[in-house]
Structure 1
Amino acid sequence: MNPKIKNIMKKSFNIMLIGLALSIVFVPEVKAYAQQGLMKLGFFQPKLELPAEITGNANEPKLVKESNFKMSFVDAKGKSLSLEELKGKVVFMNIWATWCGPCIAEMPSIQKLYDKFKDKEDVAFVILEAESNKDKAVKFMTNKKLDLPVYFPIGNIPSEFFRGSLPTTVIFDKNGNVAHITEGMADYSGDDIVDFLNEVRNMK
């Protein structure tokens, strides 16, 4: 092969690699696609542990009692709801944003989990768009063909369970205590999270 042509091909390949790398870093959809591929390989599994009060194991995380369960939010149609109204149910809350690549990546797995529990009267899902961008959130769900229950916070999200990391997933027990928190992306399509939610449902 002509050395000049070979050099041009090498430069073109390097430019393509740089372009792909920049896309993964700066384009949420591309980044999400790459992260979903890693999920399929078994990465990003949530670390699920029942609180020490339940298991009796001092090495387990402690149950966060008396969390700010008076937080309120509103759905896309303007109907308000509070966590306090959801007492008596296990609440799976996912805090996300439309521009967040890891949030986008994990959303299909949350849909799969939701499909397994949406008919359970003692389980509620709150998919909380952190920036209250209703139009973008609704458009995102429509484009992705997701039917998750999306809400928008009224006021600040309590720091007891949200420190600003997106995505953050919080599971509340039926008494309003924080039974689990995951900061960062995770795959919620597996059996482990189903078993965990059922364990929390059976907590007294």
Structure 2
Amino acid sequence: MKIDWKKEMKSWGIMLAVFAFLYFTGLITPIMGGVQSLLLATGLKKPKIILVDREHQEFDYTGRFVDMQGNMVDLRDFQGKTVFINLWATWCPPCRAEMPHISEMYKKVKDTEDLEFLMIALDKDFEKSKKYIDGKGFTFPVVHAAYGLNNSLQSQSIPTTMVVSPDGEIIFYQEGMSNFDTEEFRNFLTSQK
């Protein structure tokens, strides 16, 4: 079988040109996020409610954030509650992929007593985060890490999701995207007392 190098180079050139176009126009992030969100919707990637390396670690409640209205949010105000925390950024396709699923879960559990959501935006420019959230119509609480992150919130990658128990222990920790809108995870989240 003889390889037609001209045809092969043309094919690679077209693929490279498409990728370059998507990259330089900024379309690659929303497209990749959409494709990854479809993957999550299949139910193949679910959260494993098992702690790997942060089991029984005490959560550090020192820290402040700024909410979408410009108000100060103090982590100490979340003590004694179950807290779903997600670290994300608009430039992160896996973060974008899991957002619709987190949004759907939030709608289903938001009225649970003593359950709080803290979606922590890591974009340098919080206006980008706000524009993204508003554009998608997400209603979960979003704050900006304007003052940095304490040791409990430090992560090797994003998205990172954790759940803190009312006792102040990290009871769930995951780096990477997942579809959190499952019956198992919702039950786990709402059963913490």
Aligned length: 185
Contact 1:84 1:176 in 2 (8 A): no
Offset of 1:18 from its aligned partner?
Answer: 4.7
1:144 to 126, 136, 156: 136
Which residue number in structure 1 is paired with residue 169 of structure 2? 177
1:110 to 94, 98, 102: 102
Which residue number in structure 2 is paired with residue 36 of structure 1? 37
Q: Distance in 2 between matches of 1:17 and 1:114?
A: 39
Contact 1:161 1:178 in 2 (8 A): no
Offset of 1:105 from its aligned partner?
Answer: 0.5
CA-to-partner distance for each residue in 1:48-83, whole Å, 9 max, x for gaps? 12x6xxxxxxx9962112x21122212022211222
Which residue number in structure 2 is paired with residue 71 of structure 1? 63
Contact 1:32 1:101 in 2 (8 A): yes
CA-to-partner distance for each residue in 1:147-182, whole Å, 9 max, x for gaps? 121101242212334224111111110122211111
Offset of 1:131 from its aligned partner?
Answer: 3.1
Aligned residue identity for 1:70: T
1:192 aligns with 2:184: yes
Structure-2 change in CA distance of 1:131 and 1:61 (3 Å): closer
Q: Distance in 2 between matches of 1:187 and 1:116?
A: 14
Offset of 1:84 from its aligned partner?
Answer: 1.3
Question: Structure 1 stretches of 5 or more lacking a match?
Answer: 1-6, 52-58
1:133 aligns with 2:125: yes
TM-score, with length taken from structure 2 = 0.83
Question: Structure 2 stretches of 5 or more lacking a match?
Answer: 1-5
Which residue number in structure 1 is paired with residue 92 of structure 2? 100
Structure-2 change in CA distance of 1:167 and 1:148 (3 Å): same
Q: Distance in 2 between matches of 1:132 and 1:126?
A: 18
Structure-2 change in CA distance of 1:151 and 1:60 (3 Å): closer
Structure-2 change in CA distance of 1:61 and 1:75 (3 Å): closer
1:62 to 46, 52, 55: 55
Contact 1:92 1:170 in 2 (8 A): yes
Q: Distance in 1 between matches of 2:18 and 2:81?
A: 44
The alignment's C-alpha RMSD in Å is 2.7
Structure-2 change in CA distance of 1:46 and 1:146 (3 Å): same
Structure-2 change in CA distance of 1:150 and 1:60 (3 Å): closer
Which residue number in structure 2 is paired with residue 55 of structure 1? none
Offset of 1:108 from its aligned partner?
Answer: 0.2
Secondary structure of the residue that 1:81 maps to in structure 2?
strand
